[in-house]
Chains A and B, each alone.
Chain A
Amino acid sequence: DAGVIQSPRHEVTEMGQEVTLRCKLISGHNSLFWYRQTMMRGLELLIYFNNNVPIDDSGMPEDRFSAKMPNASFSTLKIQPSEPRDSAVYFCASSLGQRWGSPLHFGNGTRLTVT
């Protein structure tokens, strides 16, 4: 079975540009998480969805960040306009969402560099 697929793997952009990160969930999973990882702050949960519905977006840094889940298998995270402090590795993860025994399965991440 294919795992969680993220694209692109690397993104380099200039400050002020729009960035869109993409994620394809594992088939049959119904929970989707977006994380950001930096050396300073470690892993931070940005937002998670359950059955395509955003449940908790309290981790989204500010209005420049938005996430959508247009269908059960796909999600996007958009940053507009991007800033250098957004540089990080962004992970998407999915799970079966069945109680506390469901591990998160992570994609390979997108390394974003904003200059």
Chain B
Amino acid sequence: AQKITQTQPGMFVQEKEAVTLDCTYDTSDPSYGLFWYKQPSSGEMIFLIYQGSYDQQNATEGRYSLNFQKARKSANLVISASQLGDSAMYFCAMSLDDTGNQFYFGTGTSLTVIP
């Protein structure tokens, strides 16, 4: 069963605009972590942001914020003031179990920032 769903294969955004990348997850476990990773064309996987299931506030890291809606089981990534360097694949991931060693990745969203 798919645990992480990213329904947007590709997205376009104008430079300096904000963009939201969607992610929904599926688990009945009350304890979990949610992550977003960026993979530019150079290939490396870069950790962006983390949200714990018990965190009351939405996580933010610079221009990245995670819109966590627990009841809807969604963890959307919001990138504000898009830059050309934000063009990349973005992966949503979830970690389960009390050792944090079970990671589930979505299929990714390709973001293109248009000048």
Q: Give the interface of A toward B (CB within 8 A).
A: 31, 33, 42-43, 45, 48, 50, 55-56, 89, 91, 93, 95-109, 111
Contact = CB atoms under 8 A, between A and B. Distances in A.
Nearest to B94: A100
Interface of B: 31-33, 35, 37, 43-47, 50, 52-53, 91, 93, 95-101, 103, 105, 107-108
28 contacts: A31-B99, A31-B100, A31-B101, A33-B103, A42-B107, A42-B108, A45-B103, A50-B101, A56-B101, A95-B101, A97-B99, A97-B100, A97-B101, A98-B100, A99-B31, A100-B31, A100-B53, A100-B96, A101-B52, A102-B33, A102-B95, A102-B100, A104-B45, A104-B93, A106-B46, A107-B44, A109-B43, A109-B44
A99 B97 CA distance: 7
B43 A104 contact: no
A100 B91 contact: no
Given A106-B47, A107-B44, 6 more contacts: A96-B100, A100-B98, A101-B52, A101-B100, A103-B35, A111-B43
Contacts of B45: 91, 93, 104, 106, 109
A91 B43 CA distance: 10
Contacts of A106: 37, 44-47
A55 B101 contact: yes
Contacts of A100: 31-33, 52-53, 95-98, 100
A95 to B, nearest CB: 7
From B32, B101, B103, residue with most partner A Cβ within 10 Å: B101
Contacts of A45: 103
Nearest to A32: B101
